[in-house]
Structure 1
């Protein structure tokens, strides 16, 4: 879900006013997926803690971390940080992260993610919402999107229950695979989350397949 304009800035103001630590979970949205290095940048908000994983090294080696503000870091100037695990700071995982970040920067992957979302994925998915009655909502930014599939556009009844799937969702996923598209589905949603370095032609190819598959869902929607 993309927060409405001003929402995160308001949360930041409230947290600061009441002495609350603001934590941004960027495990899924960080490292370019939203079209910026971190999704909070879209709101010009600086959190006190920022968690990350996955995208920091493209998942080549398991790695996660927490970025902390100077104020929080200063609290450990005279006492040890009470954390750390056996594999903390693993050199192989860290090397993969450095290589990934350098490659993303050198090849302009974050900028590419923003451009693909704005010029290819976003317009296509909004078009799906216009001509597929099974599409209840589309939302996203960069290369981080979701399509909500419904049985009824007025009631927004999902085609699969929360926490589960349905025979129709299974059929849609199978049809995508049969046509050469590997989808990421969850409950009644199909997520459109390609790599940050996807080309416009590749993105359009996948969207064309999804467009045809949604015709099947339309046949089960009133």
Structure 2
């Protein structure tokens, strides 16, 4: 038995619809600018013919269950929501061919990539890492995982409201790089492992929230997600 100086962090996990077991989370990957209309609103349109997808990661400790209330984070005045379809990896895969991408999929969830936008944009414009803008405590919100082994979602409405007012409304079929392409490309850089979650990108309409705001979102045929923004600490 190994003795530690202090108790190590608990394993992060997500509920699985219809099962008593939970989905243990290994890593959190995020695809940047994967809807053209969002890329345009961020001032960085994407030309798929000459570009590849890019990614950032967040610590698994940022994972937060749907329905939670989280504190408005420190050192920001522009805290943004981003609604996303989440892919849950259930099988190991390295250099996975696009036509075989379905073989590593366990299921899907609905997620929020909460972002300190002001800090992200400062970092972006200065060529610095995005960590302070993206790797924010309690910022990776995820619904329960819906088992859909071997299935590739190609279309479905994706939407988000703040206090009941629609802010984002699009369709997963507008992904620049679809799920097969994302898995094939990401697995060139990483040995994908069971427990990895891939947040596939957000459509246009991102915006700021304030303490007291209630966020609700959904991916058609998958799940709903919700978050309440509490007072700053």
TM-score by length of 2: 0.21
* Higher CA-based Rg: 1
Q: Normalised by the size of structure 1, how large is the TM-score?
A: 0.22
